Chain A
């Protein structure tokens, strides 16, 4: 187990391992995303209540779900970095932070533009919306802390600690928002759509776009991590060789 971890934690091994399956991941991602988006945005029947507005679901739901799970992944990486001092774990965590922030922002913006025609408002201080806004703030905090340090090692460790503090805090924030919402606001507009009641023409494209966006998430994380590896290991011999061996497309 430790040996396997050690091997996975070596930047060079990570780089070489991902080189192999990157084209497959990219291909699968764009295939799924293409089918899901073309089908969902172009051919799925309009919703009987929301008309064409519901099509935002194909972007909104996967990005929102992704934004939560990618924080969990970032936290797992942060813990691995602190406990075993795995450099790759921190590089993955950094990439997770960037992708997570974008996914969270996309989920909030698509939600706002979905809310306007269906709820009649861009923003409402609902528990779900509020906790997502705070999740975005926490993501931004981790990124801000990381960029404030000059030393790469301190930046990694500090960002890891803050990520883990965030893990303890996020469930509390969620329940605080739920409690606060139930005191101040009547029944929520969310949750009136029963997923099982939707026809397959609507949820099958959602399935495709969902997995497509998860693929995209991993794809960006891996690509960014590879860049990070090349940058941080730029003085290592294998990187020098790799860079001089490959033809440079100028």
Chain B
């Protein structure tokens, strides 16, 4: 392996470790999206006297929508502190390819914000009376879908990081673009509940993840260069 490739690997490793260390030092970053996910999904059964069977049938949609919102809200902090203290400028000036750097940064962020959502989702499934056949597709679907959501949301975050208040604007930008993941993700669970084969839908979710992983870093990089000026 050449010296340059080794340098890149070390750099990516450092980026990943840094994301994890930040999460450990400020646990709110991990806990808040999780709490949002739990509380927001618990609001749906409270909003009306729902039949348990009806609740179980809309549970996939509820879990996916709230997971999507939780990912989006957690993404706002992805570049914020780096932008404020100038780390982002150093990142853009770094000789290492920005593409891989950003990919790993989003991966690190997903590990501390997205993965916990996947882990706690079955518990919420129980609360929402999700039928037994739905758990495996729910977990696998979220595992494939939430990284895609993180990547798409990172584009919006990168575009709005230079703006003072970007929360609602981020939602307007990101939510329409997240719809395919939502449709296929909730669709996987729904299809499994109807006893139909789900392999094709998993492939589509995987395809979306590959597409997002290959193209989103380019858009994130372009957006960051615009925001840091």
0/1 interface trace, chain B 184-219, chain A, CB 8 Å (1 if under): 100100110000000000000000100100010001
SS of B interface (majority): helix
Say yes or no: B177 contacts A154, CB within 8 Å.
Answer: no
Cα A173 to Cα B163 with chains together (Å): 28
Say yes or no: B226 contacts A140, CB within 8 Å.
Answer: no
The stretch from B8-16, B96-104, B154-162 touching chain A is B154-162
In the complex, whether A68 has a CB less than 8 A from a CB of chain B is: no
Cβ–Cβ < 8 Å partners of B208 in chain A: 172
The stretch from B75-83, B128-136, B167-175 touching chain A is B167-175
In the complex, whether A19 has a CB less than 8 A from a CB of chain B is: no
Cβ–Cβ < 8 Å partners of B160 in chain A: 145, 148
Say yes or no: B222 contacts A144, CB within 8 Å.
Answer: no
In the complex, whether B120 has a CB less than 8 A from a CB of chain A is: no
In the complex, whether A219 has a CB less than 8 A from a CB of chain B is: no
Cα A9 to Cα B58 with chains together (Å): 52
Cα A141 to Cα B159 with chains together (Å): 12
Report the count of interface residues on B (CB-CB < 8 A): 28
Which residues of chain A from 109 to 161 have a CB within 8 Å of any chain B CB? 134, 137-138, 140-141, 144-145, 148-149, 151, 153-154, 157-158, 161
Known contacts being A145-B169, A172-B208, is A165 close to B219, with CB within 8 Å?
A: yes
In the complex, whether A69 has a CB less than 8 A from a CB of chain B is: no
Say yes or no: A140 contacts B172, CB within 8 Å.
Answer: yes
Pick the contact of A168 from B172, B175, B215, B227 — CB < 8 Å? B215
Say yes or no: B173 contacts A144, CB within 8 Å.
Answer: yes
Known contacts being A134-B179, A154-B226, is A183 close to B215, with CB within 8 Å?
A: no
In the complex, whether B35 has a CB less than 8 A from a CB of chain A is: no
5 closest residue pairs by CB, A with B: A137-B176, A176-B180, A176-B183, A157-B226, A141-B173
Q: What are some 21 contacts across the A-B interface (CB < 8 A)? A: A134-B179, A137-B175, A138-B177, A141-B177, A144-B169, A145-B169, A145-B173, A148-B166, A154-B162, A154-B227, A157-B222, A157-B226, A158-B223, A162-B155, A165-B155, A166-B177, A168-B211, A172-B180, A176-B183, A176-B184, A179-B183
Chain B interfacial positions (CB closer than 8 Å to A): 155, 159-160, 162-163, 166, 169, 172-173, 175-177, 179-180, 183-184, 187, 190-191, 208, 211, 215, 219, 222-223, 226-227, 229
